Amino acid sequence: MYIQQHELEQLKKLLRRLTSLDLSLYKDRFIKRRIAIRMNSLGFQSFYEYLEYVRRNPNEVYNLFDNLTINVSFFFRDPMVWSTTYRKVLKPLTEYKSSRRSRSIRIWSAGCARGEEPYSISILLHEALGSELGGFTITIFATDIDPKALEQAKKGEYTPQALDNVPRMWLRKYFVYDPVRGVYKIKSHVKRIVKFMLHDVVNDPPLSQIDIIFCRYLLIYLARDMQQKALMNFLKALREGGYLILGSAEFLPEEMHRYFEVIDLKARIYRKRTIGKYL
Ligand SMILES: C[S@@+](CC[C@H](N)C(=O)[O-])C[C@H]1O[C@@H](n2cnc3c(N)ncnc32)[C@H](O)[C@@H]1O
């Protein structure tokens, strides 16, 4: 199904009039693909029929939004990235904080979907710090633009498929299995340090004094100038020497390399340079 550019612009205009949803965040190619999927599932042959349908059923906008915010995620997505993050980021960071007697660790999972990523971070921190964890003030800010995904994240219940990469030992240590419903529920000590919030990485003010930002599999969907805005927000949010971790399909654009050094290219781990050292 082919959607012409002027047709897409009409839909964008309609959405702007009906809601606060900002389609200009996303790549046109991506939006067209998602609209085609939505039209297909409703059985529409032409875009004009679909546009009429949206006009008559304004709630359709929210279904389309659900289609655009792809919440697919799982625990420890790309295991190699997580083992590298443990060795090259979490261990050095916690050791540095201990040596400085600095008791605060602030981590941001941006585009956290249903909580799989921030809870994975929490588990790794429990592993890295063990019984010393209680001596730190740790907050994992977990943000997303999709309120439904955040509601599910707060529940912290997962089907076994989302947990494929979780070692068996950790399943017992960090989850409780409910055999009746066939779901694993995350334990409260893992949840305690995760704070969920509605937040748009492009348009909302960034967080501050962050030690590590995980923003994985979000930037790929954004239009190029929106990616740039999000990355500038991340730069502001990070403290000097803070880390930025992107998804395996994402690269830091050339123009941002003056602000970040590469820690591990394969795992997409970057580190904010100290201001005096910007190239
Ligand atoms: C594919 S999921 C990635 C989840 C997780 N980070 C991972 O790597 O598995 C992308 C998430 O980004 C969210 N998202 C999309 N646009 C966003 C924006 N502008 N601000 C914040 N979150 C956004 C979506 O709602 C979705 O939950």
What's the pLDDT at 241? 95
Give mean pLDDT, residues 72-101: 94
> Which residue among 30, 69, 148 is best mutated to probe the pocket of ligand 1, counting the most ligand atoms within 8 A of its Cβ?
69
Q: Is 66 in the pocket of ligand 1 (CB under 6 A)?
A: no
Residue with tokens 């059985």: 43
Checking if the pLDDT of 120 tops 80, the result is yes
> Which residue among 21, 62, 144 is best mutated to probe the pocket of ligand 1, counting the most ligand atoms within 8 A of its Cβ?
144
What's the pLDDT at 277? 58
Going by alpha carbons, the residue nearest to atom 15 of ligand 1 is 69
Length of the chain: 279
Q: Is 271 in the pocket of ligand 1 (CB under 6 A)?
A: no
Q: Among the atoms of ligand 1, which is closest to the Cα of residue 214?
A: 6
Backbone angles phi, psi at 175, to 5 degrees: -135, 155
Token output for 112:
């956290």
Strand order through the sheet with 157-158: 157-158, 183-186, 175-178
End-to-end CA distance of the chain: 47
DSSP secondary structure, 49-80, as one string: HHHHHHHH-TTHHHHHHHHHS-----TTSSHH
Checking if the pLDDT of 162 tops 70, the result is yes
In tens, the pLDDT along 193-239 reads 999 999 999 999 999 999 999 999 999 999 999 999 999 999 999 99
Q: Among the atoms of ligand 1, which is closest to the Cα of residue 114?
A: 27
Residue with tokens 């546009």: 51
Give mean pLDDT, residues 141-147: 95
Q: Is 202 in the pocket of ligand 1 (CB under 6 A)?
A: yes
Instruction: Report d(CA 6, CA 200) in Å as an integer.
Output: 26
Going by alpha carbons, the residue nearest to atom 14 of ligand 1 is 111
Going by alpha carbons, the residue nearest to atom 18 of ligand 1 is 200
User: 137-144 and 104-110: which strand pairing?
Assistant: parallel
Supply the mean pLDDT for the chain.
93
What's the pLDDT at 12? 87
Checking if the pLDDT of 29 tops 80, the result is yes
Domains of the chain: 5-68 (1.10.155), 79-277 (3.40.50.150)
Q: Is 111 in the pocket of ligand 1 (CB under 6 A)?
A: yes
Going by alpha carbons, the residue nearest to atom 25 of ligand 1 is 69
How far is CA 236 from each of CA 32, 87, 102, 147, 264, rounded to the nearest angstrom? 32, 25, 21, 25, 22
Give, as one character, the DSSP assignment of residue 218: S
Query: 217 pairs with which residues across the strands?
Result: none
* Alpha carbon of 95 to ligand 1 centroid (Å): 30
How far is CA 131 from each of CA 136, 176, 189, 267, rounded to the nearest angstrom? 10, 21, 12, 28
* Alpha carbon of 249 to ligand 1 centroid (Å): 14
What's the pLDDT at 276? 62
What's the pLDDT at 1? 66
In tens, the pLDDT along 231-279 reads 999 999 999 999 999 999 999 999 999 999 999 999 999 999 987 655 4
In tens, the pLDDT along 33-80 reads 999 999 998 999 899 999 999 989 988 988 888 888 888 999 999 999
The secondary element (H helix, E strand) that includes residue 27 is none
